[in-house]
Structure 1
Amino acid sequence: MKITYIFGAGASANAVPMVRETKGYIEKTILDFLDFYGNADDLVARDLSNKTLLDSLLADLRWIRLLLNDYDTPDQLALDFYNQRPDDNKYPNQEFVKIKNLMAILILKAQFESAGKEGRYLAFWKRIMQGDKYRDFELPKNLNFINWNYDSMFYESRFLSKSDCEENSLKYEEILKPFENTLANINGTAGFLAQPGNQVRAYYEHMHLPSYYKYFPSRFPIRGDAEFNFKYELLRLHARLQQFEYSDNTGTKNGISYAFEDDGKNKEKALNFVKDSDFIVTIGYSFPEYNKEIDHAILGKFKGKRIYVQDMRSEIADKIRRFFSNTEIVKHVNEVDQFYIPYEWKPEW
């Protein structure tokens, strides 16, 4: 029997602020970076280029915070700016690019601050894979994923599952390889960036995932303080992302790719997963209005036995029930301490 998991923002709620908490987190981030520079050692504080990087990031953070007064979520803001591009221009405007870049910075910062707090992913892998299967990260062949999250918690848990955690073991291809045929990543990932020629890799060889700083702070030459190092890198990342040009594909492209930007490949993958599934488990996904088209397409393909909706709010399950004539196939799971695994499903290799 096949199962497809649909991960929403609630799956990473212990590590990354929910979308409706973004405004407050931006305000916190502005204060954090002001404090960061105010407490920098003399060597860094005297470097005017660093002050320029800081001023640029703070200006952009204040800009997006002001814009969000008129929107419920950053996704709605991004969609509005995406739709403002001229009809004869297939490339989005620079304001849209700036929104994506800032969301990447905020998500990476939040993940670093909360490293180790969201253990449900890692516990999930351990419950599904035992012994050698877990050590080698060999996924069951009857398990697929649809991921709506911008953060890299899904991948970070794969890294932390490794038994060796050697400095050179964390390669982009190694992280993604187990998921090549089992994952539809609808919104892209904040921590993964594309270089010219579409060569995709994680940001810097030593900054694939935020927790890497947390667990191996001594490997970074700037300063022994992991938090200082990470904020310093975020300033550099912000400057680097600003140089990207859609028109000629030069510079470093943000790894976030909203569902409305998708070329159809991830959507097609998700539809095929659901079509062949006996079970769906949604975890922390609210089925928002702006994703209605693709959500309806996904649910319309399901001909299986049951949909489990894991969420503290029962109204999400009620929303899905309205889509099916047989409402009994939808079951609400309100316990959220661990990701739900249906008792009647078992992994196959």
Structure 2
Amino acid sequence: MDMLFDAYLTHESLQCEPDDIPCTSDPVWILGEKYDANKELAAIRKDITSRLWFTYRKGFVPIGDSGITTDRGWGCMLRCGQMVLGQALLFLHLGRDWRWDHEQRNPAYVSILSMFEDNKSANYSIHQIALMGASSEGKDVGQWFGPNTVAQVIKKLSPYDHWSSLEVHIALDNTLVIGELKRQCRKQNKWSPLLLFLPLRLGLSEINPIYAESIKKCFSFQQSLGIIGGKPNHAMYFIGCVGNDLICLDPHKTQQAVRVNKDCSKEDDMSFHCQYATRSPIMELDPSMAVCFYCANESDLDKLCQLLHENLVVNEKQPLFVICTERPAEVQLKTLDDPMKSPTVSGTDDESDDEFEMLG
């Protein structure tokens, strides 16, 4: 390990031990991987550091004709959308066990990262997301997004990524229809990998405590891609949990825009990887969020649906969402276990983006 990277990993620990992961007997879950904080702290941090971390940037070329050259103060949810999408692409092209190594840049890793570079030509850049939001979602460039809005924009951009051929599905009305998912992913007898968004609103101004355990369970599933949401006025990407805290990557750091290619400097490469995650109490989570999953194949999807059904629907008085094999013609939706049981969580069509106000 060279001096630069060593300094990157140890700078803050020279001052005091970071408080990113507590010393606890509670399991630590990071995107479906279970860790022991007392024995695997280095492995936990390596896993977290290997996630793509997209933050505010400044000094990029203006977005369209807006004249805007930074997303500071308005782009936090857009960056969270980039992070969950970037993680799906890492799973797809490099696998769950891949770990970032600044000394040996995998060509696929460089290709993935370049799709998020801050310029209009990059498929998933802040430019493309903001401009697509303006043209299709009625969001002016510089206006904040909510979780559902950024999911809709990602869905519209994904068909232009021919390398990944990723299918993006947004399960609205708190309803997951298995038949719709399979038809979307199975085209011409070929299965396309799936990025699944489940937008939820679990309360009015505060999250209902009844959903806390179900939210934590989502991080234990192998297909987990975390949650995009946040605190009021502060959107974040949640990648795991420990005890009653969520582990998150926070986009609220303004960095200089950089070029991304195989020859980019180590410092520039490091700017896309967070040294230490932060933690947030689950009950401080804003009730508007999107739970995200990645399914590489049909077997993955079947396993996920079974996990969701057994852990989040059966025996739950107020499940996070409803699962059904096909969408019924009648208004009353049916769950797999109880055909007479109706949804108990309000829909998300009336999502408000006001929870993610502009920051200074």
How high is the TM-score relative to the length of structure 2? 0.30
How high is the TM-score relative to the length of structure 1? 0.31
Q: Which has the higher helix share?
A: 1
